[in-house]
């Protein structure tokens, strides 16, 4: 049996996690936590590269981010749908890994796969906790769900300082050579590598500035925070 996972990131596509919360996962792994990534699709619809290329690259990115577990489901790329079948596929993984925290994509956005993955993930986490649901494994419901908001311009409720992890996170994204290396295929669609670096850095810097650090990743939680000692709050107001 797999030992319980501290944190599981669920995303629609291979390389989503690298863009939205890879630094956070690496930071936790460096602190000795067990981290995992579940990609819902295998990337067979991508303009560049094949599903096999992406699998190899996802493995390399996972190594860089020091994740303990990474797998991809067989949900069709470009057609992530919130069906009962798909919810069961995700619920099985939740039961198997027993994560305390799950990171989902934010529930709004440009790409339908991204926002659908959000509701699908949420409902699968709920299902996984139903004792009478007849799928393999013991019922398990994550203690906490947080949403990675980087793809969507919403104000996060908190950010994670990834200043120390930024370079590795960028290297993990660049591990997707079939997507990001300079090439003629899809040239009008994909920015050049130098441009990607600039974009990724600008976003991380922006969220870092919101909390007074160099680089950060943004998250949103639905619940109200519970505070014991107001004098220990971490971020200055003025």
Q: Which is nearer to Zn ion, 12 or 175 (CB)?
A: 12
Closest Cα to residue 196, out of 216, 220, 212, 172? 172
Which residue in this structure is represented by tokens 């160099």?
214
CB of 98 to Zn ion, least distance (A): 26
CB of 92 to Zn ion, least distance (A): 22
Closest Cα to residue 88, out of 55, 122, 135, 41? 135
Closest Cα to residue 138, out of 101, 100, 102, 94? 94
Q: Which two tokens stand for residue 81?
A: 């749908």
The window from 15-23, 45-53, 68-76, 91-99 that contacts Zn ion (CB under 5 A) reads: 15-23
CA distance 222 to 207: 19
CB of 105 to Zn ion, least distance (A): 8
CA distance 60 to 149: 24
Q: Which is nearer to Zn ion, 109 or 142 (CB)?
A: 109
CA distance 30 to 8: 15
In 3-state terms, what secondary structure has residue 21?
A: coil
CB of 4 to Zn ion, least distance (A): 27
Half-sphere exposure in the Cβ direction for 83 (13 Å, CA): 9
Work out whether 13 is an interface residue with Zn ion (CB under 5 A): yes
Which residue in this structure is represented by tokens 């290329």?
53
Size of the site for Zn ion (CB under 5 A): 3
The window from 2-10, 14-22, 60-68, 200-208 that contacts Zn ion (CB under 5 A) reads: 14-22
CB of 212 to Zn ion, least distance (A): 30
CB of 111 to Zn ion, least distance (A): 6
Q: Which is nearer to Zn ion, 17 or 97 (CB)?
A: 17
CB atoms within 10 A of CB 115: 20
Q: Which is nearer to Zn ion, 6 or 77 (CB)?
A: 77
Work out whether 16 is an interface residue with Zn ion (CB under 5 A): yes
The window from 4-12, 24-32, 51-59, 128-136 that contacts Zn ion (CB under 5 A) reads: 4-12
The window from 10-18, 56-64, 89-97, 212-220 that contacts Zn ion (CB under 5 A) reads: 10-18
Residue nearest to Zn ion according to CB distances in the complex: 13
Q: Which two tokens stand for residue 38?
A: 């579940």
Judged by the rule CB under 5 A, the positions of this chain that interact with Zn ion are 12-13, 16
């Amino acid at each position: 049996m797999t030992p319980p996972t501290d944190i599981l990131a669920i995303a629609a596509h291979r390389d989503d996690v690298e863009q939205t919360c890879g630094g956070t996962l690496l930071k936790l792994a460096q602190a000795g936590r067990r981290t995992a990534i579940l990609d819902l699709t295998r990337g067979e619809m991508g303009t560049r590269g094949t599903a096999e290329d992406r699998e190899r690259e996802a493995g390399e990115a996972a190594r860089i981010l020091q994740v303990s577990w990474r797998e991809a489901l067989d949900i069709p790329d470009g057609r992530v749908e919130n069906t009962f079948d798909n919810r069961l596929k995700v619920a099985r993984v939740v039961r198997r890994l027993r994560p305390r925290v799950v990171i989902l994509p934010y529930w709004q956005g440009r790409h339908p796969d991204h926002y659908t993955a959000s509701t699908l993930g949420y409902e699968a986490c709920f299902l996984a906790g139903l004792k009478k649901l007849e799928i393999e494994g013991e019922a398990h419901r994550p203690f906490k769900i947080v949403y990675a908001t980087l793809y969507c311009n919403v104000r996060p409720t908190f950010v994670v300082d990834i200043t120390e992890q930024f370079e590795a996170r960028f290297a993990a994204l660049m591990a997707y050579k079939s997507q990001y290396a300079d090439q003629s295929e899809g040239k009008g669609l994909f920015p050049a590598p130098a441009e990607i670096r600039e974009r990724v850095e600008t976003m991380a810097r922006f969220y870092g500035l919101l909390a007074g650090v160099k680089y950060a990743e943004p998250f949103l939680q639905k619940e109200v925070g519970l505070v014991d000692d107001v004098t220990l709050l971490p971020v200055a107001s003025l």
